[in-house]
Amino acid sequence: MKICVLGTGYVGLVSGVSLAAKGHNVVCVDVRPDIVASLNRAQPHIHEAGLPELLGKVIAERRFVATLSLEEGLTGAEAVLIAVGTPSLDGRIDLQYVRRAAEQIGTWLKTAGTPLSVLVKSTVVPGTTDTVVRAILEETSGKKVGEFGLGMNPEFLREGNAVEDFMNPDRIVFGCEDEISQAVLEKLYASWHCDKITVNTRTAEMIKYANNCLLATQISAVNELANLCFEMGDIDVQEVMQGVHLDRRWSPVTEGGRVRPDILSYLIPGCGFGGSCFPKDVQALRTLGRDYGLPMPVLQSVLDINELQPLQVVRLLKSCMDSLDGRKILVLGLAFKPDTDDVRESASLRIIRSLVQEGSEVMAHDPAAILNAKKELGECPVQFVNDWKPVLNGADAVVIATRWNDYGALARPEIAARLDDKPVVDARRMFRPEDFSNAIYLTIGRRPLKD
């Protein structure tokens, strides 16, 4: 079937390319000529594992094309996916791009002679699809739901693993307002063999928010425990969590041995969560609750803890350095997580800004996110380096802020030897204390041992 996708960000592009790889004919629509041209040359503008290869394949098979023309995308399409951005604005999601997309689709529907299902892929708060989007579509088209399909199909893509997550999902949620959209969604995902759940659009929207809010809550809860362990001393929160992870409710014991589920990665202490989903989604659901007269204290606490958590890195450095003023600090990692170039709400950038406020001279490296970090940090004085190893000797301290595999080289004996008596803040628990016998190993939730 022909599918039109509005938006070529992480969600729109990965969805479009993956649907094309499954045999659909996909047209991605964007308003930026440079992005459209780049995509048609099989050069994605975002960093995602496996995306360049898959994009090249579907273009070669003539199953994917990018265009500036909405009419080209919608003509002959059975479904259109709204995958535009929903940025945060004062704790609420900004629906301006969703509204604009709905208006454009509605205008096209007014004279369209073929049926079309409008499927919201963007993350929107519960009640958006069946009120805001529906009202705009019906007003601009002069038609009612039933004459066109309306649904909500939330994404559960982890940046850095987005292609793999789309191609091999753990579940697919069909949010439907009518039988037309349900039939289209079933046809769209017929070749996927996983759990599929059909609900109304409000429930589909809430599933996405509940999923992210609970994961974010785990991260903040562990970080709060880590901070308490630091205050008490003689407790390593990593050892605490190893004991917690062995609870059979987290790690079931089966005949084949103990299962170590991915959920445990959210129960590891660190310097906080970031990215395009968790901060924005927790804020949006908290604000939605307040709009209904519910204070949402748990979600507020999740945000409060996360806001302060990057400062633990600065605190650790201060615990073993008389002053940070004038000290050269090498920050390794700028993206909010490895295998992506996304720096939105990155704890790394908050660490850098705090170090600069302390008077530190900051050097920074990332395998993929330097360009985006430069844009985000603006005039903040940072020396970006393309290779971190040559500047290691000149650094007074090292902060590992993103868990890139490349930084595992720090533990190699010939490199670790260059860290003698220097503080190494492992904010992502990549290493063990014994990996740095000559350095001052510091990490979240573990007070430095005194000589």
| CB-based burial label for 328 (10 Å; 0-12, 13-18, 19+) | middle
pLDDT at 448: 76
Q: Choose, from 194, 271, 277, 320, the residue flagged as catalytic.
A: 277
pLDDT value for 114:
83
E strands in 42-200: 64-67, 79-82, 88-89, 92-93, 117-120, 149-152, 171-176, 195-199
Show the 3-state SS of 201-220. HHHHHHHHHHHHHHHHHHHH
Distance CA 379, CA 51 (A): 32
Q: Is 273 exposed, middle or buried (0-12, 13-18, 19+ CB in 10 A)?
A: buried
Q: Which residues contact 43 (CB under 8 A, 6 or more apart)?
A: 52
The two tokens of residue 38 are 């780049």
Residue-level pLDDT, tens digit, the chain, 451 residues: 999 999 999 999 999 999 999 999 999 999 999 999 999 999 999 999 999 999 999 999 999 999 999 999 999 999 999 999 999 999 999 999 999 999 999 999 999 988 899 999 999 999 999 999 999 999 999 999 999 999 999 999 999 999 999 999 999 999 999 999 999 999 999 999 999 999 999 999 999 999 999 999 999 999 999 999 999 999 999 999 999 999 999 999 999 999 999 999 999 999 999 998 999 999 999 999 999 999 999 999 999 999 999 999 999 999 999 899 999 999 999 999 999 999 999 999 999 999 999 999 999 999 999 999 999 999 999 999 999 999 999 999 999 999 999 999 999 999 999 999 999 999 999 999 999 988 999 999 998 765 4
3-state secondary structure at position 255: coil
Does this model's pTM top 0.85? My answer is: yes
How much is the pLDDT for 450? 55
Is residue 229 annotated as part of the catalytic site, yes or no? no
Domains of the chain: 2-198 (3.40.50.720), 200-308 (3.40.50.720), 310-451 (3.40.50.720)
Q: How far apart are CA 8 and CA 84, in angstroms?
A: 8
